[in-house]
């Protein structure tokens, strides 16, 4: 039998999306690549230049909070000028079109929110939030802190980025939200290598729960073998095409 062409797979995925009532999306760094934010594990990615053990672990922060903060300040400056790309906007549009929708993102860059996504779980936290190690107060940041490491305005305690580091547990409420999102008719995996757990596990869980899986990625990765509809390409190009002609609830 002839292998399905890319166009056939795209059209089959479009039909599946049109039929689906419950739609969930899992995103990774690749969804922000076209906004100019480097991914982690691609060639030239963040983990090629930095050792995660030195910048993204509780031990690293305990050893040298100012150094870890310098690194986060660098990342904040890098994403500060970035704008959502057509992939982020297509995902926000999907939320408006589908009555049951949930986005689970591993990204901390805030671009989904800037594009209008609201029904979502930020599994690994948010770069623009800090948490006081002493009193636990969470604060939103509007700009890169001037003095590093920043201190809590209330109690003077050390503030850390409100992100998940290697070796840390995810927030149980976030896990519960992501698990609920696995009960979907269609589950889209966009721009993630699937190398980091438990995030990658949600794609397996969705498949086991009976969801059809769409993967959007220019490179096959460890989740590709799960995909019913592997769409090979850039998220900012493929997602808008996938949504073409999709009607909202009650529309024909
Ligand atoms: P990775 O860097 O591991 O993977 C990025 C994925 O995006 C790869 O599969 C690329 O092929 C794909 N990609 C690149 N450009 C793309 C594009 N234009 N459109 C679609 N896909 C594209 O990043 P993540 O899977 O997000 O965690 O990594 C997961 C976690 O590992 C991150 O949240 C971070 C990191 O360590 C923590 O820091 C805790």
164 lines ligand 1 (CB under 6 A): yes
Residue 127 clears pLDDT 60, i.e. is over it: yes
219 lines ligand 1 (CB under 6 A): yes
122 lines ligand 1 (CB under 6 A): no
Q: What is the mean pLDDT of residues 164-178?
A: 97
Q: How many CA atoms lie within 13 A of 252 on its CB side?
A: 0
Q: What is the mean pLDDT of residues 22-31?
A: 98
88 lines ligand 1 (CB under 6 A): no
Q: What is the mean pLDDT of residues 124-134?
A: 97
pLDDT of residue 162: 98
User: Which of the following is catalytic: 112, 124, 174, 204?
Assistant: 124
Nearest Cα residue to 17 out of 182, 242, 252: 242
Residue 182 clears pLDDT 90, i.e. is over it: yes
- The phi and psi torsions of 148 (rounded to 5 degrees) equal -115, 135
Q: What is the mean pLDDT of residues 52-66?
A: 96
pLDDT of residue 90: 98
223: left (phi over 0), alpha (psi -120 to 50) or beta: alpha
Residue 103: pLDDT band with limits 50, 70, 90: very high
- The phi and psi torsions of 26 (rounded to 5 degrees) equal -115, 120
Ligand 1 center–CA 28 separation, angstroms: 5
Burial classification of residue 144, based on how many CB atoms lie within 10 Å of its CB (0-12 exposed, 13-18 middle, 19 or more buried): middle
pLDDT of residue 247: 83
**124 is a catalytic site residue:** yes
170 lines ligand 1 (CB under 6 A): no
Ligand 1 center–CA 29 separation, angstroms: 4
Residue 34 clears pLDDT 70, i.e. is over it: yes
Closest ligand 1 atom, residue 234 Cα: 19
Best mutation site among 41, 165, 214, 215 for ligand 1 pocket (most ligand atoms within 8 Å of CB): 41
pLDDT of residue 41: 93
pLDDT of residue 1: 44
Residue 8 clears pLDDT 50, i.e. is over it: yes
Closest ligand 1 atom, residue 108 Cα: 33
Q: What is the mean pLDDT of residues 174-187?
A: 98
218 lines ligand 1 (CB under 6 A): yes
- The phi and psi torsions of 21 (rounded to 5 degrees) equal -95, -45
196 lines ligand 1 (CB under 6 A): yes
Best mutation site among 124, 193, 199, 203 for ligand 1 pocket (most ligand atoms within 8 Å of CB): 193
Which of the residue ranges 24-28, 49-53, 178-182 would you say has the lowest mean pLDDT? 49-53
Ligand 1 center–CA 252 separation, angstroms: 36
């Amino acid at each position: 039998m002839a292998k399905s062409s890319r166009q056939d797979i795209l059209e089959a995925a479009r039909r599946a999306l049109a039929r689906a009532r419950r739609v969930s999306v899992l995103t990774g760094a690749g969804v922000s690549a076209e906004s100019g934010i480097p991914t982690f594990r691609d060639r030239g990615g963040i983990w090629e230049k930095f050792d995660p053990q030195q910048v993204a672990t509780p031990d690293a922060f305990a050893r040298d909070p100012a150094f870890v903060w310098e690194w986060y300040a660098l990342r904040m400056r890098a994403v500060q000028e970035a704008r959502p790309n057509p992939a982020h906007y297509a995902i926000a549009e999907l939320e408006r079109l589908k009555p049951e929708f949930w986005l689970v993102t591993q990204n901390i860059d805030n671009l989904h929110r800037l594009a209008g996504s609201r029904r979502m779980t930020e599994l690994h936290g948010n770069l623009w939030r800090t948490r006081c190690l002493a009193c636990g107060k969470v604060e939103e940041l509007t700009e890169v802190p001037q003095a590093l490491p920043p201190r809590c305005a209330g109690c003077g305690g050390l503030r850390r980025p409100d992100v998940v580091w290697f070796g840390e547990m995810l927030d149980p409420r976030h896990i519960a939200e992501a698990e609920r999102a696995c009960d979907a008719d269609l589950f889209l995996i966009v721009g993630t290598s699937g190398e980091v757990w438990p995030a990658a596990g949600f794609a397996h869980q969705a498949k086991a729960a009976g969801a059809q899986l769409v993967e959007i990625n220019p490179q096959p990765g460890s989740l590709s073998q799960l995909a019913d509809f592997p769409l090979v390409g850039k998220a900012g190009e493929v997602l808008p095409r996938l949504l073409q002609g999709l009607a909202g609830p009650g529309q024909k």
